[in-house]
Amino acid sequence: MKNPRVCVIGAGCSGITAVKNLIQAGVTNVTCFEKNDQVGGNWIFTAGESHSSVCETTHIISSKKMSEYLDFPMPEEYPDYPSHRQVLAYFQAYAQHFGVEKYIRFNTSVVKAEKTDGEKWRITLSGGEMQVFDFLLVANGHHAVPRHPDLPGNFTGEYLHSHSYKTNRPFEGQRVLVLGAGNSGCDCAVEISRVAQFTAISLRSPQYIVPKFFMGKPADTFNATMMFVPKFLREKLLKLSLRIQIGSYRSYGLPEPDFPVTSSHPTMNSELLYKIRHGDVHPRRGISNIEGKMVEFKDGKREEFDVIVAATGYKIKFPFFEKSFLDWEDADRITLYLRMLHPEHPSLFFIGLTQPQGCIWPLSDIQSKYVANLIAGRAKRPDNLKILAEQETREIAREFLKAKRHAIEVHYHPYFNKVKKHIPANAPAWTDEPVAV
């Protein structure tokens, strides 16, 4: 197709690399729609509740070197785990360096995306304007719609989802219960414990909580060196390294996981275990009943709380699609090939719809490179895409524990290499000169 029109939804970490790779492949009839007034997505910190933004004290949980885009390193002076302010500055520098911003319409939301005849897309914008595109790249992220827990009872204190958590200051002097020991839950518990009267964290099931450093280096760089070790041995070595670092989880009052380290999304946190052993955060079992402010846990313990913070994840939702067209809100598994190609819609691509055991940004970059070269006509879409998508979905089901939060989980390095194999040898590198399609 000569000079195809391409729509990209979202100018966060996935959207800006999608635009950059399209330009690099010679596809320049591109419009990216972004509801905020700048690039960065959920890394744009706002003190009040608006879009799904990071917290005041957020740092990345993957290391700098393992988080960079493929051809744009982070500044040398950045620490191993940059802050959200440094990450946002990095995204903005990336967009400026590659000239991405001129393709973005800021302060513009996509309210409806409809597939029309000829595999085209009718896009309705927040001001009522409609445009038609040949290809649609969905890069709006999957941390926007909170998933709330079913609480057994009626809690009369203050309740909020971690989506609304921005800073620990409102919790000063309060008794606070955090639900969930994922990355958000542990971060909330640690930060709240600095000012709260009492902080507890409730776990329904075991969770690996992994310190950010091992032998003086970021933990993910150590894990990367293990990729050449056979899987059965790698799992044993990962468990052994955790045992050396922290001992038994039971010594912290936490349940001991009985599954492989890599079969569940890891929690990267160096402070929670420290806070538990110092008596600042108190681990608790799952909740069995709530009456007013009194919470009863499954081991019979009863305690009163002023606030419950639910760090219970997010739904995978695309509000611009009709539910009859696509609805993955409650899906345990999502049937896409390479987590981005839909078997039934060849002009639709998902960028960044992964939950990697590592950083999403390089994966979005390599995804975008493949998609851009598909659109440019250099790469091929597999003929047996439906079969491949179903095989991949079953593989994910075998590799990870069954849970909604693992619906889009991937192993970082195997996934990266799998996508890379689809990129053609003649894919252009970045150049300041226009690329012929």
CA contacts within 13 A on the Cβ side of 314:
17
> Max alpha carbon distance in the chain (Å)?
69
Domains in the chain and their CATH numbers?
6-145+314-420 (3.50.50.60), 148-310 (3.50.50.60)
Q: Kindly calculate the radius of gyration of the chain based on its CA atoms and give it in whole angstroms.
A: 22
Tell me the C-alpha distance between 241 and 244, whole Å.
5
CB 183 within 8 A of CB 268: yes
> What pLDDT does 416 receive?
95
Q: pLDDT tens, 390-403?
A: 999 999 889 898 88
Model confidence, pTM: 0.93
CB 355 within 8 A of CB 405: yes
- Residue 54 identity: V
Tell me the C-alpha distance between 19 and 365, whole Å.
10
> What pLDDT does 333 receive?
81
Q: pLDDT tens, 229-273?
A: 888 888 888 889 899 999 999 999 999 999 998 899 889 999 999
CB 326 within 8 A of CB 318: yes
Q: 292: alpha, beta or left, given left = phi > 0 and alpha = psi -120 to 50?
A: left
Tell me the C-alpha distance between 245 and 371, whole Å.
41
Tell me the C-alpha distance between 26 and 374, whole Å.
11
CB 183 within 8 A of CB 201: no
Count the neighbouring beta carbons within 10 Å of the beta carbon of residue 252.
Answer: 18
Residue numbers in the chain where pLDDT is lower than 70: 47-53, 432-437
Here the tokens at position 366 are: 């390599």
Here the tokens at position 274 are: 């420290």
Q: What is the 3-state secondary structure (H, E, C) of 189-226?
A: HHHHHCCCCEEEEECCCCCCEECCEECCEEHHHHHHHH
CB 120 within 8 A of CB 134: yes
CB 107 within 8 A of CB 33: no
Helix (H) or strand (E) holding 218: strand 217-218
